[in-house]
Amino acid sequence: MNAAKFFTNPLGIIGASISATLLWGSSYPFIKLSYERLGIGSGDTLEQLLFAGYRFTLAGVLILLYMLIRRESLRYQRGSGGMVSTIALLQTVLQYTFFYAGLSMSAGVVGAVIAGTISFFQIVIAHFLYKNDRINGAKGVGLIVGFIGLLVLGLSKHDGNSGLHFSVGELLLMAATLFNACGNLLSRKASSSYSISYINGYQMLLGGIILCVIAAWSTGLTPFHFDGIALLMLLHLALVSALAFTLWNNVMKYNQVGSVSMYLFLIPVFGVLQSALFLNEPLSGAVIGALALVSSGIIIVNRKKKQKALTPSEG
C-alpha cells in the first residue's frame, strides 16, 4: 500500500492521527523523567536548555535523514535563510527556553493542558494578521470555552491562594505556547515556498545547535552522565519531534483539514493521561475540568475548518 492509499484509508487516518498525538502527549512526562534521571533541577536553567539542544539537534538530523531516504534535496534553497532562522528562533529557541523551564516548575498534567491552548493563540494572532482568517461565531465560542479552561486552572487553589492565580511555571508555559503559535503561523507562510520537511529539519537543527551553544558556554557540552535509559529517553523525545511531525503532515496532505484536525484535542488528553501514569501525578477536579474545556474548545474551533492547517508543536 503506497502512502496516498494508507493515509486516505479510514484505518490509516485514525492510526496515524492517534499515533502522532500520542507521541506529542508523551513529551510532557518524558521530559520530566529525563530531568530526574539526569539530575536536572527546577533551577538548572542552562542544563535544561542544553538537554533541549540535544533533543532538537538530533530531531533535525533525523528529519534530514528522512529527506535523504525520500531522495529530497538537502541543498540550501535561495532566500530561505532568513525564514528558517526566524522560525528556529521562535519555535525552538524561545519556545523551548520557556517551555523546559516552565515544565520543570509545573506538573506534567498542567503543562499538557496549557500546551493544548496553542490552537486558541494561533486563531487570535491569525485574526489580526490575515483578512481571510477572522474569528467567526464557531471560533469565538471555541475560544471562550478553551480560555475558560485556563481560568479553571488559575482559579484552582494550587498553594492556598484564593482568586485567580498562576504559578511562575504556568506563566512560562503560556509564554512558550505563544511563541509556538507565532512560529507555526510563520511556518504556514514558509510552507507555500518550501517543503515542510526542509523548513522543520533545518530550523530544528539550527535551533538545537543555538540552544547547545548558549548553555555549553557555562555548563560545558557534556555535563550529563547518560546511562542506557537516559539515552533511550532522549531518543524518544527526538523521535517525538521527527516522527510525529511526519505522520501528522502526511495525514493533512492527503485529507481535508476539517476531517482530521479535530484529532488535535487528543494531544492534551494523552499528555494528561501519560503524565498521571508515568509520573504518578494526581488528577484533580480542576485539571480534569480544564482538560475537558480545552479539548472541547479545540474540537469547536476546528469544526469544518477550511483554512490551511498549522502543524502543532509538541512539548
Residue 302: name the closest of 270, 274, 273, 266 by CA. 266
Interval 174-218: pLDDT, tens: 999 899 888 888 887 887 788 888 988 999 999 999 999 999 988
How much is the pLDDT for 307?
Answer: 47
Taken in order 10, 302, 120, 107, is the CA torsion positive or negative?
negative
The verdict on residue 315 lying in a domain is no
**Nearest CA among 264, 271, 266 for reference residue 112:** 271
Q: Domains in the chain: how many in total?
A: 1
Radius of gyration for the alpha carbons in the chain, expressed in angstroms and rounded: 19
Does the residue 309 lie in any domain?
Answer: no
pLDDT at position 306: 47
Is 142 part of any domain?
yes
> Angle CA(106)–CA(111)–CA(113) in degrees, nearest 5?
140
Q: Looking at the domain assignment, is residue 312 inside a domain?
A: no
- Say which DSSP state 91 is in: I
Q: Is 307 inside a domain boundary?
A: no
What is the b/e burial string over 60-73, where b = at least 16 CB atoms within 10 angstroms of the residue's CB? bbbbbebbeeeeee
Tens-place pLDDT, residues 101-118: 999 998 888 888 888 887
Q: Which domain holds residue 213?
A: 3-301
Cβ contacts of 256 within 8 Å, gap of 6 or more = none
* 195 located within any domain: yes
Percent of the chain with pLDDT over 90: 39
182 occurs within a structural domain: yes
pLDDT at 37: 95
In-domain check, residue 63: yes
Residue whose grid cell is 523548513? 199
**Alpha-carbon gap, residue 150 to 293, rounded angstroms:** 9
